């Protein structure tokens, strides 16, 4: 038994035992045992994934477990990368969940048997998806992942009515995606000797162009839905905010990655790379999703919903890299293809780290205050200094600024896009637009997280709950600490993980190592371009220290004295005089009003004594999802009309039902007579 087999076996066994513990143990010990079990299971998956990325392989087959197809598992470097990411997220969220799931002073908690049983099962099914090596096995694991995550999303439906609505959206979207994936893979397996991925790889070399296009488009639609890609993203900003925060971290940092995994597995591995227009479509969808997602996040005020839209943005950036890799590979430029794929895979790792930290920090805020609206928060740095520090690290990592974790992966992505300009009019147009989309996304991400961190944590308190906020339990802080350490490590020393990720990316597209890595620097292979994140960080720190030292040296030598700031005679500043999240985003709303089309309303209340004297003014703003309004609302209206018609056709009359049967039988007999 090699390391991959041992790690994966330990992950599955411990996950199963944790689920049994959540079902059978008494309430006081339940969350502790389950949280520790999830963390240990994550360590096993992380070890197995890293070993698989290093070149170890493992396989397992049980042909008699499932009818027709059996159960087939195989671990290769590509699956190992996603297995390792899922394991790493599970370690941090498992420890975090120990304190998060316990009952608070109000009697609210997530330590019920259902939630504590589903949590380790959800993590285990996510670990099995990237190692499934057959159509039946993959679809079974995919559906189990969807069902367990759905039950966790609706865990708090009794406390908030919005949870039930989010659960319905998620259930419909995820199962429609499963149906489309099922169609694509069944059409694919119909042209193969059996449903194993090994047989599909052979069959993929001989598919007709029409069948190959159908398989790719069907699976692209289904997997894009799971990844939250526009226009199939409607479930994500609903489910992620309403789910418990440890579940939100698992879904946003680990589960959505498996949508990208499915696209890469089918498009590059099973279908052999395909044609250029496939990847132009993927790149376009990614660019649109990145820009649209970050626009919604920049204007939104709900902290967890903002992070959900940020997930759409980051998965869009990943698909830009995947699409560019496929486009370069189809034109024969394998070095650039490997570079773009390495950027995409590295961004998946970075996103998993900082989105885990951000959702954990948001969960800590909700745990302490019960509020998610940034306009109601503020002043959290006083009562929650560790959570504030954690969110600040996550915000910097997500902002694509040095020394943030996302900076290196987005730099690699931009280098691939800038150096590659394949032949063809369409690619010549799309590539510069993709560069512009990535740059615009990076700028809006900075504005988004400056708003979230500055208004939500550093400003004055805007509610009694925010003013009385308290720090989270030690286990929650420990989980956030692990995620923060991962963010810092990936920001300062990406050279530790990039060689392995580059090797995986090269194996996917059939190229050599796209980057040359030394102890502190990253250099592009065959292209001009190098970066040293550690030295860049040191230079930034030295420059900051030198600036502060110079300012202190040039300052006056007089003794410092405390004085009140000049306030123009208006008195001490209050929270009402500071920027809110709404007002901070108002300039961006004006610039992109043609895209977001925000709805605004101003209510003016006058004094009863005189209508010329204003008592209060209330400003309301709502930012509807235009894609949802144009695409989903008409479909829902048609379905509602169909339901009303169905109620009229079924009034409860037995005579009418017998008539339906009689007329249907007559119509069937007439059809048989005519067609024979």
DSSP 438-503: HHHHHHHHHHHHHHHHIIIIIS---SHHHHT--PPPHHHHHHHHHHHHHHHHHHH-GGGTHHHHHH
pLDDT in tens, 396-438: 999 888 888 889 999 999 988 888 765 555 667 788 888 999 9
pTM for the whole structure: 0.90
Are residues 385 and 300 part of one domain?
A: yes
Query: Is residue 576 situated within a structural domain?
Result: no
Are residues 591 and 450 part of one domain?
A: no
Are residues 356 and 299 part of one domain?
A: yes
Integer angstrom CA distances of residue 662 from 124, 530, 652, 666, 674: 51, 78, 17, 6, 19
Mean pLDDT of all residues in 84-98: 94
Are residues 523 and 475 part of one domain?
A: yes
Domain with 596 in it = 585-622
Whole-number Å distance between alpha carbons of 595 and 615:
35
Residue 271 DSSP symbol: S
pLDDT in the model for residue 593: 75
Whole-number Å distance between alpha carbons of 482 and 142:
28
Mean pLDDT of all residues in 110-119: 86
pLDDT above 90: percentage of residues in the chain: 40
Integer angstrom CA distances of residue 68 from 46, 71, 137, 178, 481: 32, 10, 11, 19, 47
What does 599-639 look like in DSSP terms, one character per residue? EEEEEEEE-SS-TTSEEEEEEEEE---HHIIIIIHHHHHHH
Query: Is residue 28 situated within a structural domain?
Result: no
pLDDT in tens, 231-280: 888 888 888 888 898 999 999 999 999 999 999 999 999 998 888 889 99
Under 8 Å between Cβ of 218 and 174: no
Nearest to 37 by CA among 79, 82, 97, 126: 97
Query: How does residue 606 score in pLDDT terms, banded at 50, 70 and 90?
Result: confident
pLDDT in the model for residue 650: 77
pLDDT in the model for residue 585: 77
pLDDT in the model for residue 225: 92
pLDDT at 100 over 60: yes
Are residues 604 and 477 part of one domain?
A: no
CA-based torsion, 367, 370, 373, 375: positive or negative: negative
Are residues 399 and 435 part of one domain?
A: yes
Under 8 Å between Cβ of 315 and 228: yes
- 477 Cβ partners below 8 Å, 6+ apart? 386, 387, 390, 471
pLDDT at 317 over 90: yes
pLDDT in the model for residue 108: 59
Residue 131 is encoded by which pair of tokens? 């190692």
Whole-number Å distance between alpha carbons of 129 and 6:
18
Under 8 Å between Cβ of 311 and 240: yes
pLDDT in tens, 497-544: 989 998 999 888 888 788 888 877 888 887 777 888 888 888 888 988
Question: What are the residues facing 602 on neighbouring strands?
Answer: 619
Query: Is residue 441 situated within a structural domain?
Result: yes
Collapsed DSSP state (helix, strand, coil) of residue 532: coil
φ, ψ dihedrals at 214, nearest 5°: -60, -45
3-state helix, strand, coil in the chain (%, to 5): 70, 5, 25
Are residues 631 and 617 part of one domain?
A: no
Query: Is residue 346 situated within a structural domain?
Result: yes
pLDDT in the model for residue 55: 86
Which burial class, exposed, middle or buried, applies to 118 when counting CB atoms under 10 A from its CB (0-12, 13-18, 19+)?
A: buried
- Mean of per-residue pLDDT scores for the chain: 86
Mean pLDDT of all residues in 322-326: 92
pLDDT in the model for residue 371: 85
Mean pLDDT of all residues in 137-166: 88
- Ranking 10-24, 87-101, 258-272, 602-616 by mean pLDDT, the lowest is 602-616
Residue 440 is encoded by which pair of tokens? 């615009």
- Ranking 43-57, 198-212, 562-576 by mean pLDDT, the lowest is 562-576
Residue 196 backbone class (left: φ over 0; alpha: ψ -120 to 50; beta: rest): beta
pLDDT in tens, 16-53: 999 998 888 888 888 889 999 999 999 999 999 999 99
Query: How does residue 586 score in pLDDT terms, banded at 50, 70 and 90?
Result: confident
Domain boundary among 537, 560, 593: 537
- Ranking 272-276, 337-341, 445-449, 515-519 by mean pLDDT, the lowest is 515-519
Question: What are the residues facing 130 on neighbouring strands?
Answer: none
Query: Is residue 129 situated within a structural domain?
Result: no
pLDDT in the model for residue 105: 57
Are residues 613 and 522 part of one domain?
A: no
- Ranking 64-68, 248-252, 294-298, 546-550 by mean pLDDT, the lowest is 64-68
pLDDT at 63 over 80: no
Query: Is residue 80 situated within a structural domain?
Result: no
Are residues 602 and 668 part of one domain?
A: no
- Ranking 413-427, 446-460, 560-574, 646-660 by mean pLDDT, the lowest is 560-574
- Ranking 283-292, 388-397, 519-528, 540-549 by mean pLDDT, the lowest is 519-528
Under 8 Å between Cβ of 483 and 357: yes
pLDDT in the model for residue 188: 93
pLDDT in tens, 204-237: 888 899 999 999 999 999 999 999 898 888 888 8
How many distinct structural domains can be found in the chain?
Answer: 3
Are residues 614 and 515 part of one domain?
A: no
Query: Is residue 389 situated within a structural domain?
Result: yes
pLDDT in the model for residue 102: 81
Query: How does residue 148 score in pLDDT terms, banded at 50, 70 and 90?
Result: very high
pLDDT in the model for residue 107: 52
Mean pLDDT of all residues in 437-446: 92
Are residues 454 and 601 part of one domain?
A: no
Are residues 598 and 525 part of one domain?
A: no
Under 8 Å between Cβ of 449 and 398: yes
pLDDT in the model for residue 181: 94
Question: What are the residues facing 617 on neighbouring strands?
Answer: 604
Integer angstrom CA distances of residue 57 from 52, 197, 420, 511: 6, 15, 33, 20
pLDDT in tens, 628-667: 778 888 888 888 888 887 777 777 778 888 888 888 989 9
Query: Is residue 38 situated within a structural domain?
Result: no
């Amino acid at each position: 038994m090699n390391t991959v087999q041992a790690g994966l076996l330990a992950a599955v066994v411990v996950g199963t035992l944790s689920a049994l513990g959540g079902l059978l143990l008494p309430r006081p010990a339940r969350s502790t045992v389950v949280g520790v079990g999830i963390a240990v299971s994550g360590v096993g998956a992380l070890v197995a994934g890293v070993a698989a990325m290093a070149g170890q392989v493992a396989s397992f087959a049980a042909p008699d477990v499932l009818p027709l197809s059996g159960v087939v598992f195989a671990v290769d470097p590509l699956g190992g990368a996603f297995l390792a990411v899922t394991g790493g997220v599970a370690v941090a969220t498992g420890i975090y969940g120990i304190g998060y799931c316990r009952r608070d002073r109000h009697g609210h908690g997530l330590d019920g048997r259902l939630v504590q049983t589903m949590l380790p099962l959800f993590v285990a099914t996510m670990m099995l998806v990237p190692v499934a090596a057959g159509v039946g096995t993959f679809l079974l694991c995919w559906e189990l992942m969807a069902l367990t995550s759905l039950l966790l999303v609706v865990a708090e439906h009794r406390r908030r009515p919005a949870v039930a609505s989010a659960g319905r959206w998620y259930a419909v979207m995820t199962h429609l995606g499963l149906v489309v994936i099922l169609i694509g893979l069944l059409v694919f397996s119909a042209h193969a000797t059996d449903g194993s991925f090994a047989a599909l790889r052979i069959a993929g070399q001989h598919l007709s162009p029409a069948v190959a296009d159908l398989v790719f488009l069907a699976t692209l639609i289904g997997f894009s839905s799971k990844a939250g890609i526009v226009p199939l993203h409607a479930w994500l900003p609903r489910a992620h905010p309403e789910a418990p925060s440890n579940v939100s971290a698992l879904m946003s940092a680990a589960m959505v990655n498996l949508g990208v995994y499915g696209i890469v597995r089918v498009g590059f591995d099973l279908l052999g790379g395909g044609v250029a227009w496939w990847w132009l479509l993927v790149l376009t969808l990614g660019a649109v999703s990145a820009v649209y997602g970050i626009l919604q996040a920049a204007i939104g005020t709900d902290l967890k919903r903002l992070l959900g839209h940020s997930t759409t943005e980051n998965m869009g950036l990943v698909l830009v890299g995947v699409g560019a890799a496929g486009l370069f590979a189809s034109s024969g430029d394998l070095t650039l293809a490997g570079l773009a794929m390495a950027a995409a895979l590295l961004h998946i790792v970075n996103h998993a780290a900082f989105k885990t930290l951000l959702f954990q920090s948001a969960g800590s805020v909700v745990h302490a205050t019960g509020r998610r609206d940034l306009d109601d928060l503020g002043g959290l740095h006083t009562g929650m200094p560790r959570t504030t520090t954690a969110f600040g690290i996550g915000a910097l990592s997500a902002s694509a600024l040095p020394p943030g974790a996302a900076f290196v992966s987005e730099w690699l992505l931009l280098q691939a896009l800038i150096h590659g300009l394949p032949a063809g009019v369409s690619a010549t147009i799309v590539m510069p637009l993709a560069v512009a989309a990535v740059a615009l996304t990076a700028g809006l991400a900075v504005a988004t997280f400056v708003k979230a961190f500055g208004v939500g944590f550093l400003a004055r308190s805007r509610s009694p709950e925010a003013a009385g906020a308290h720090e989270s339990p030690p286990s929650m802080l420990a989980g956030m600490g692990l995620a923060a350490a991962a963010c810092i490590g990936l920001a300062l020393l990406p050279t530790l993980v990039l060689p392995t990720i580059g090797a995986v990316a090269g194996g996917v597209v059939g190229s050599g190592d796209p980057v040359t890595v030394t102890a502190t620097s990253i250099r592009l292979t065959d292209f001009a371009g190098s970066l040293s994140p550690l030295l860049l960080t040191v230079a930034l720190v030295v420059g900051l220290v030198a600036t502060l030292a110079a300012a202190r040296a040039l300052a006056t030598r007089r003794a410092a004295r405390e004085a009140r700031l000049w306030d123009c005679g208006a008195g001490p500043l209050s929270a009402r005089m500071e920027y809110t999240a709404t007002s901070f985003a108002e300039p961006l709303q004006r610039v992109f009003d043609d895209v977001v089309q925000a709805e605004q309303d101003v209510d003016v209340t006058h004094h009863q004594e005189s209508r010329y004297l204003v008592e209060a003014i209330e400003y309301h703003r709502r930012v509807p999802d235009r894609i949802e309004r144009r695409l989903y609302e008409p479909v829902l209206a048609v379905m509602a009309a169909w339901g009303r018609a169905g109620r009229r056709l079924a009034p409860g009359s037995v005579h009418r039902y017998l008539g339906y049967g009689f007329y249907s039988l007559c119509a069937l007999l007439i059809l048989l007579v005519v067609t024979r």
